[in-house]
Homo-oligomer: A and B are copies of this chain.
Amino acid sequence: MTATDPALTALAQGWRALSLLHEKIEAHIERALQSKHGLSVREYSLLETLSRQHDGPGGHLQMKQVADAVVLSQSATTRLVTRLEERGLLTRYLCPTDRRGIYTDVSPAGLALLAEARPTNDAALREALDQAARDPQLAPLVEAVESLHARA
């Protein structure tokens, strides 16, 4: 039986709760974004990330940075970017100083679609959180997520 260490077990419960909450929210948002805008959560997430960089200095990210930001493998990132590029939602162009690097930037169409999808995303998120808050095992985490913005 190895009488599992209580501290570790408790930590595992926390991880389990986090995992459950994440998957529930993701599933909920996925359905909403997919049905209304033909976007997956990852695709939306990528557009969102790139658009935030857009406000800043360069307005572009290298594939590697993208992969890190969305926590995907390089190969998956390549294909994700390719898909969105084929839909005209973003553009790819070589980095002038290092021709190995490839920058990606959101296109106007991408920004438009993002603006259109953002309310859907936010509403679905709000909904999923409210729904999760009714589960006593998830409630504390929901609270934590919501209180994150208070410190902004």
Chain A 48-79, CB-CB to B under 8 Å as 1, else 0, gives 10000000000000000000000100000000
A4 located at the interface, meaning its Cβ lies under 8 Å from any Cβ of chain B in the complex: yes
A12 located at the interface, meaning its Cβ lies under 8 Å from any Cβ of chain B in the complex: yes
Q: For the complex, what is the distance from the CA of A146 to the CA of B7, rounded to whole Å?
A: 10
A133 located at the interface, meaning its Cβ lies under 8 Å from any Cβ of chain B in the complex: no
Contact B151 A11, beta carbon cutoff 8 Å: no
Contact B18 A22, beta carbon cutoff 8 Å: yes
Q: Which residues of A contact B (CB under 8 A)?
A: 1-2, 4-5, 7-8, 10-27, 45, 48, 71, 115, 118, 121-122, 125-126, 129, 140-141, 144-146, 148-149, 151-152
